[in-house]
Structure 1
Amino acid sequence: MLPARPVAARPKASTVQADTVEGPPCPTCGTPNPPDHRFCRRCATPLTPESAAHADRKRRRWSWHGDRSRWLRALVALLVVIAIVVLGVVLYPQLDNAVQDMRDRLATPAAIAPQTVTATAALPDHPAQAAADGLSNRYWGTPSPGATATFTFADPFRLLSVVIHTGPTAERDHFTDQARPTAVDLITTSSDGTTRTTPIALSDEPGPQRTDLGISDVVEVRLHIRSTTAQTPNTHIALGEVEFFRRP
């Protein structure tokens, strides 16, 4: 005969103890609270005017903290915007120069001819226009240093470089027949009236001598002869050709 299966004891029902707390009821939920409680033991509603005032002050304090945080974030955002604007104004010239230099390096220079050429001094048979006519057997002749040739252009352009040919001809046998410039000042004028002076030292050799510039909005170029070589009473200064190259 098999043993009987044990039967689990049934749980006994517990009796709910009645809430014996006596005191003023909560104005919100009606729960009785001991007389010394400042807040309802069930819903935490303030039971005394002092407790209510304290809770209100606490709410206002946290509300002010939230408002102050929002104002602080707005102030930080404003300061960041101001800093970005100031940095943009301060750094824009450097950034613009860097961008222009990069574009100059990538561009293929294109020749540009001046619209007019004048000079403060020139010999009758060697006018200033001969310095920009593209011919190697003609030159601008001037009797002494200090003369200036002015080249004007129809429209503003980005001047990448200038190529100067000194002497009366590119032929070496006749290159020394006249005096040659050895130092000049290249003075550019932009469309807004800004001028820039670039001193250029020239070698006493036939052939092209290039000077890289990178100047924007050029409308006029002046070439001022500062010093020469091999000038005698029987010779004059000869400047063979001046070529200008722009960025397309």
Structure 2
Amino acid sequence: MPGPPPGAPPPASPEPAPPGPVAATVRCPGCGTANEAARTLCVRCALPLAPGPAPAAAPPWWRRLPRRGAWQAPLAGTRPRRSRRRPRIVLPLVLVLLAVGVWFGLPHAGSLLGLAREETSRPESLPPSAVRASRSLKEHPATAAFDGFSNRYWAAPEPGATLEAEFGLPGVRVTKLVVFSGTSAKKDEFLAQARPARILVELVSADGDTRTRRLTLKDQPGQQTLTLRGSKVTHIRITPETAYGTARGRHLALAEVEFFGHRS
């Protein structure tokens, strides 16, 4: 290739390009490595390059009880703070309530145990220690209603006479009353005399408290079982108030009375 002609000026050399802007860097506060300004974690140790302001001090525990914020995971590269144990008030409150319940429940513990016994054990027969009646026919005394035979009966001249049973101290817990109405459990003898229709039952406890129940009997022969509840009962009085089959010359007949429950 031929060179430049003689006397021609030499070609101009290319001018160097102006230096570009220096990339900004951020130095890691942990290991000192320079990192690009756009990074948030150190390229070497992963520590935050701009941790931001220090966290505010946590408020007292009693201010944190009404509202508790959601748990936040610690930032990568930071050691999670050890959580402080917060006092628990639920357990002490439950213990206080239990103590109060036991304190007020002690006077009624015996009654509660008695009720549990009623529900779990079979009631037993409670024969009275003594019986009597306010009025009765000579051939049909009060003892005939408690002798265990349904073909012998107590006879009253008319409704209003009382039949009474005593149990003595400390009393009994009564749950059931069994009655055989009329003169006999046999159907052909049952209608021979008048029969109690509604009876008033009074239960007297050892402390003198009296509870009354009005019970209605069916006009049918055989056993009739009625619910009757009383605690520490020492005396029971039965008063026939109305009767079936009343007529001139007929008296009121009650063949058998039995009490069931538990000895105190």
Residue 211 of structure 1: how far off its partner (Å): 1.5
Corresponding residue of 1:112 = 126
Alignment partners' CA distance in 1, 2:111 and 2:130: 29
Correspondence 1:84 to 2:84:
no
Correspondence 1:102 to 2:86:
no
User: CA RMSD of the aligned region, Å?
Assistant: 2.7
CA contact under 8 A between 1:101 and 1:214: conserved in structure 2?
no
CA contact under 8 A between 2:193 and 2:253: conserved in structure 1?
yes
Correspondence 1:238 to 2:253:
yes
Alignment partners' CA distance in 2, 1:207 and 1:120: 25
Corresponding residue of 1:182 = 197
Residue 214 of structure 1: how far off its partner (Å): 2.9
CA contact under 8 A between 1:160 and 1:246: conserved in structure 2?
yes
Aligned partner (choices 221, 224, 238) of residue 223 of structure 1 = 238
Aligned partner (choices 157, 174, 181) of residue 166 of structure 1 = 181
Q: Structure 1: any 5+ residue segments left out of the alignment?
A: 1-76
Alignment partners' CA distance in 1, 2:208 and 2:227: 21
CA contact under 8 A between 1:107 and 1:247: conserved in structure 2?
no
Question: C-alpha deviations, 1:32-73, integer Å up to 9, x for none?
Answer: xxxxxxxxxxxxxxxxxxxxxxxxxxxxxxxxxxxxxxxxxx
- TM-score with structure 1 setting the length: 0.62
Residue 197 of structure 1: how far off its partner (Å): 0.4
Corresponding residue of 2:262 = 247
Correspondence 1:194 to 2:209:
yes
Query: Is the alpha carbon distance of 1:230 and 1:186 closer, same or farther for their aligned partners in structure 2, counting shifts above 3 Å?
Result: same
Give the match's secondary structure for 1:187. Answer: strand
Residue 92 of structure 1: how far off its partner (Å): 6.5
Larger radius of gyration: 2
Residue 207 of structure 1: how far off its partner (Å): 1.1
After TM superposition, the structure 1 = structure 2 runs for residues 1-248 of structure 1, keeping only pairs within 5 Å, are 84=100, 88=104, 99-155=113-169, 156-247=171-262
Give the match's secondary structure for 1:168. Answer: coil
Q: Structure 2: any 5+ residue segments left out of the alignment?
A: 1-92
CA contact under 8 A between 2:126 and 2:262: conserved in structure 1?
no
- Range with bigger deviation, 152-161 or 198-207: 152-161
Alignment partners' CA distance in 2, 1:97 and 1:145: 36
Give the match's secondary structure for 1:247. Answer: strand
- TM-score with structure 2 setting the length: 0.58
Amino acid at match of 1:225: P
Question: C-alpha deviations, 1:81-134, integer Å up to 9, x for none?
Answer: 8x9379827x966x8765543321211111121111111110111111111111
- Range with bigger deviation, 96-105 or 212-221: 96-105
Alignment partners' CA distance in 1, 2:224 and 2:107: 33
What percentage of aligned pairs have identical amino acids?
37
